[in-house]
Amino acid sequence: MNPILQFGTSRFLQAHADLFISEALHRGEALGNITVVQTSNNTQSLLRVAAFNRAEGYPVRIRGWQNGAPFNAEQHVTSVTEALQAERDWPVLLERIAKHVQVIISNTGDQGYALSERDHAACLTSPSAPVGFPAKLLTLLYARYQHNAAPITLFPCELVTRNGDVLRGLICTLARQWNVSSAFLTYLERDCIWVNSLVDRIVSEPLDPIGAVAEPYALWAIEQQPGMTLPCHHPSMIVTDNLERYERLKLFLLNLGHTYMADQWLVNARSADETVLQAMSNPRLSSELDNVWQEEVLPVFAALGEDAIARAYLEQVKERFRNPFLAHRLADIAQNHREKKQRRFKPVVALTEKLGLPIKQPRLRAALAGDNR
């Protein structure tokens, strides 16, 4: 049975973690294959589950610039060998988690950590699946605890700073609300290994029914933690004692850049199909974004002694934003825009104030003030 359980079937996971593990499997450097869990049951989701279960693999088209030259290749991903639909296959999931799973990967989207009012303590012993992802995960970990209490390593890939700590806090808080035993709470807090990690790859388009189009650049930075089990070893995976540096680079430069472009797209009611490449090709928009980076963000890195690293990463970001092979729509980036502004702009402003820097950051502050967008 598969030792890796993955919550989420997004195009991102297909072209990132699943591709990493597939490549590592060919080298004998992966823990094993993946069982993916689809938590929605709409028609498109069910078609995706059926496609995964055909065990034919799927394509990931890698397009962009690499080492100053065009790169265009197609990878065939074979690491996902089973797909379950949570509501339909809940008993199977309970059995998998109790006996076979060693690693859990998740990427549940911007609302994935939201609690559902329909979930309650009775979910722990119910034969039916809870509604929300946190309740699903808590219930599955309870099943594992009851069976053998074996350690398990969890790799949240949601774009949340210190996502492992956040998810552990959420699950343990929910467990206390449900009045679980002190022994089970200890298992959650001490025996389960909640890993902070950062994922970085632009995946611009899905393929039908499964597969994706992505850029060549990819990074999975993982914070070192004693006892953790890695899903694989891969050249684009970095195990580090300084995850904060990687988080700051991506959040303050790439993510902030995307969301600032999306903000301008909304404010100016630009073309519904405008892409990142088209925005970067507009002299006014690209100049405005560069002013944000140069005047409102890079001084923060300079104050932290990270100016050279940040400028080198920013040059990569600009090249990635100008990738002529990806149709990365600003409409997609603008989803959950208000929450993204809070996550991507506010920490820069807060750190600037904490460091006492004499910069005003008018563009970022104006965007944060526009909460109606």
* Tens digits of residue pLDDT in 81-140: 999 999 999 999 999 998 899 999 999 876 778 888 899 999 999 999 999 999 999 999
Query: How much is the pLDDT for 161?
Result: 86
For residue 371, what pLDDT band results from cuts at 50, 70 and 90? low
* Tens digits of residue pLDDT in 285-326: 999 999 999 999 999 999 999 999 999 999 999 999 999 988
Query: How much is the pLDDT for 110?
Result: 60
* Residues in CB range of 151: below 8 A, 6 or more apart: 191, 192, 193, 227
Residues 72 and 157 in one domain: yes
- Least confident window among 173-187, 192-206, 260-274, 359-373: 359-373
For residue 157, what pLDDT band results from cuts at 50, 70 and 90? very high
Residues 48 and 66 in one domain: yes
Residues 181 and 285 in one domain: no
Q: Is the pLDDT of residue 1 over 50?
A: yes
Residues spanned by the domain of 312:
244-369
Residues 177 and 273 in one domain: no
Residues 261 and 332 in one domain: yes
| pTM (2 d.p.) | 0.89
Residues 299 and 228 in one domain: no
Query: Cβ distance 86 to 93 under 8 Å?
Result: yes
Residues 135 and 198 in one domain: yes
Residues 15 and 145 in one domain: yes
Instruction: State the Cα–Cα distance between residues 200 and 249, nearest whole angstrom.
Output: 10
Domain boundary among the residues 217, 241, 265 is at 241
With a pLDDT cut of 70, the percent of the chain lying above it is: 99
Residues 193 and 325 in one domain: no
* Tens digits of residue pLDDT in 243-255: 999 999 999 999 9
Residues 299 and 230 in one domain: no
- The residue ranking higher by pLDDT, 210 or 160, is 210
Query: How much is the pLDDT for 253?
Result: 97
With a pLDDT cut of 90, the percent of the chain lying above it is: 84
**Which CATH number belongs to the domain containing residue 305 in this structure?**
1.10.1040.10
Query: How much is the pLDDT for 99?
Result: 87
Average pLDDT over residues 155-159: 92
Q: Is the pLDDT of residue 367 over 60?
A: yes
For residue 373, what pLDDT band results from cuts at 50, 70 and 90? very low
Domain boundary among the residues 216, 241, 266 is at 241
Query: How much is the pLDDT for 148?
Result: 84
Query: How much is the pLDDT for 261?
Result: 97
Residues 226 and 274 in one domain: no
**Which CATH number belongs to the domain containing residue 158 in this structure?**
3.40.50.720
Residues 168 and 279 in one domain: no
Annotate 264-299 with b (16+ C-beta within 10 A) or e (fewer): bbbeeebeeebbbbbbbeeeebbeebeebbeebbbb
Instruction: State the Cα–Cα distance between residues 13 and 199, nearest whole angstrom.
Output: 10
Number of domains in the chain: 2
358 preceded by cis ω (within 30°)?
Answer: no
**pLDDT, averaged across the chain:** 94
* Tens digits of residue pLDDT in 33-90: 999 999 877 777 788 899 999 978 999 999 998 777 889 999 999 999 999 999 999 9
Domain boundary among the residues 222, 241, 260 is at 241
Tell whether the torsion through CA atoms of 337, 339, 340 and 341 is positive or negative. positive
